[in-house]
Structure 1
Amino acid sequence: MKAAWILLVVAALLELVWATALKQSNGLARLWPAVIGMTVALLSVVVLSVSLRDLPVGTAYAVWVGLGSLGVAITGIVVLGESASPARVACLALILVGVIGLKVVDG
């Protein structure tokens, strides 16, 4: 079970890579960022699917999306200079609380 959670976190971290690469692809107009983005997105889904062997699908998917969204939003703030308004940061904190809650509840 512990390995499944590690795989799930890896799959979520891969979302950082593919989302950032797709942003850099300029709407798929730049070849290599587009190829990297789509390849890593597929890899992220594959790793997620392996984690689903041992985790409930609802929990795993919610954690994958939550951690991925949180990571991409933080990357946007830190690397791309996106807004870090208090309301936005508070909403991101709520996502983190939800992900932690799912881990605690489902172990």
Structure 2
Amino acid sequence: MPWITLIAAGLLEIVWATAMKQSQGFTRILPTGIMLVGMVASFWLLAIAMRSLPLGTSYMVWTGIGAVGAFIVGVVLFGEPVTMGRLVAAGLILAGIVAMKLAS
């Protein structure tokens, strides 16, 4: 159950990061509100997961899901460039998440 909670926290990190982009520097109310709710929910779920999982593992997986997810959202929704370097970097982050999970 802590791993499901941690994954949910990571997915919410993607939500709030995307909403932050959409808020246009906090000038749009709805995306700013979604960002704030997403942040609180993401941190709350991370804290719950950390009751059972190690700090380093939890934080690394949480930020990794958010980073790779934000990269994918950036490419799909915002037309950000897909270069070999960016793909390799995202792949290394994913490899780190898998390695951290296996080492736990």
TM-score for both structures, normalised by structure 1: 0.95
Letter in 2 for 1:25: S
Aligned to 1:99, which of 85, 97, 100? 97
Aligned to 1:39, which of 37, 43, 53? 37
Letter in 1 for 2:13: E
Aligned to 2:4, which of 3, 6, 11? 6
Percent of aligned positions that are identical: 41
Equivalent runs, 1:59-78 vs 2, <5 Å: 59-78=57-76
Letter in 1 for 2:12: L
SS at match of 2:81: coil
TM-score for both structures, normalised by structure 2: 0.98
Structure 1's unaligned 5+ residue stretches are: none
Cα distance in structure 2, aligned partners of 1:47 and 1:6: 10
Cα distance in structure 1, aligned partners of 2:38 and 2:12: 7
Structure 2's unaligned 5+ residue stretches are: none
